[in-house]
Amino acid sequence: MGQALRELVDDVLDLERIERDIFRGRSPRESLLRVFGGQVAGQAMVAAGRTVDEDRDVHSLHGYFLRPGDPFAPIVYEVDRTRDGRSFTTRRVTAVQHGETIFTMSASFQRPEEGVEHQASMPETPAPDGFPRRDMPPVPRDEPAFTTTGRALTWPLDVRYVDHSPWDETADRDPSNRVWVRADGELPDPASAGGRLLHVCVLTYASDLTLLEAAVFPHVLGGAASGEVSLASLDHAVWFHRPFRADEWLLYVQESPSAGGGRGLASGRFYTQDGVLVASVVQEGLIRRRRG
């Protein structure tokens, strides 16, 4: 397990319980100067999941990013036990920092049931081994404070772009992308105590990492890494369809149907390597050109 993933699992996603429904989380030691949205959503899911019986699995989450988070300060997560029904359980989570709400999320959990079943097919895609690992590019010399340590960030994920990377200036200007992604190391068995929730939280973390790039590719040469635009997640929704392991390769198929009004909309689907659709994602984000 890579050091960044170990910190994510052992520290960042292992929240401190302050009260029955109040938890406290922190950011990694090496972070962006604004808390990564996937981290907040993942921690909020941990908080919600720890108030739900283990016989129920999360099937959806809907979150709103209200303020940028401070990576140097802890985040307090307050859980409202909205409903405990016979089949479904609903939780609402509020993330608070410096006395202000920075994120809200509703999450729904369901007791396993049998029912009708179908899924969209996975597009034919080359295996991940044929693509190099693509980490965050080096920090620009004129941005020494890009992270809390002033160094390039090491993500806890192994990410491999199929179509084009966000910093490839020769890429086709198309509002779509395919990305192979997995945790950078082996995670605990989903059958272990808290294991299923951990894999869900790691996928939630991953779902926010590359999705908005699809909305930027048609408009900015070099994408989000060009420095021409600033991006920020506004709202984020994930639906979990079938069991999966976040430490095995998942194909993240992404497309952007619309951009306008300073915002971009993007949707994504996660497939296992053998073509099983395990989760769907929709996100709208702020996209603003930087003033030179």
pLDDT in tens, 162-200: 987 776 666 567 889 999 999 999 999 998 888 999 999
Amino acid at 178: R
56 contacts: CB under 8 Å, gap ≥ 6: 88, 89, 109, 110, 111
Q: Comparing C-alpha atoms, which of 65, 75, 70 is closest to residue 236?
A: 65
Catalytic status, residue 192: no
Q: In which order are the strands placed within the sheet that holds 277-289?
A: 16-19, 22-25, 75-84, 88-97, 100-110, 57-65, 229-240, 277-289, 263-272, 250-260, 176-183, 157-161
Residue pLDDT, tens place only, 233-264: 999 999 999 999 999 999 999 999 999 999 99
Catalytic annotation present for 70: no
- How much of the chain is in helix, strand and coil states, percent to nearest 5? 15, 35, 45
Q: 41 with 105: CB under 8 angstroms?
A: yes
Closest Cα to residue 29, out of 135, 174, 130, 153? 153
Catalytic residue among 208, 247, 254, 280: 208
Q: Please state, in angstroms and rounded to a whole number, the distance separating the CA atoms of residues 267 and 168.
A: 21
Give the pLDDT of residue 174: 83
Q: Are 237 and 283 in contact (CB under 8 A)?
A: yes
Distances (CA, A) of 275 to 127, 185, 187, 242, 257: 12, 22, 21, 12, 23
- Contact predicate 204/250, CB 8 Å: no
Q: Which of 27, 43, 256, 283 does the annotation list as catalytic? A: 283
Residues with Cβ within 8 Å of residue 47, at least 6 apart in sequence: 15, 23, 25, 77, 79, 93
Angle between helices 195-207 and 37-49 (to 10 degrees): 160
What is the spatial distance between Cα 278 and Cα 262, in angstroms, rounded to a whole number?
31
Cβ contact 109:61 at 8 Å: no
pTM beyond 0.85, yes or no: yes
Question: Picking from 55-69, 99-113, 123-137, which range would have the lowest pLDDT averaged per residue?
Answer: 123-137
Catalytic residue among 39, 176, 233, 254: 233
Pairing of strands 176-183, 157-161: antiparallel
Whether 139 shows a pLDDT value over 90: the answer reads no
Half-sphere exposure of 197 (CA within 13 A, CB side): 24
Range from 12-26, 115-129, 156-170, 199-213 carrying the lowest mean pLDDT: 156-170
Annotated active-site residue 31? The verdict is no
Q: What whole-number distance in Å separates Cα of residue 86 and Cα of residue 78?
A: 24
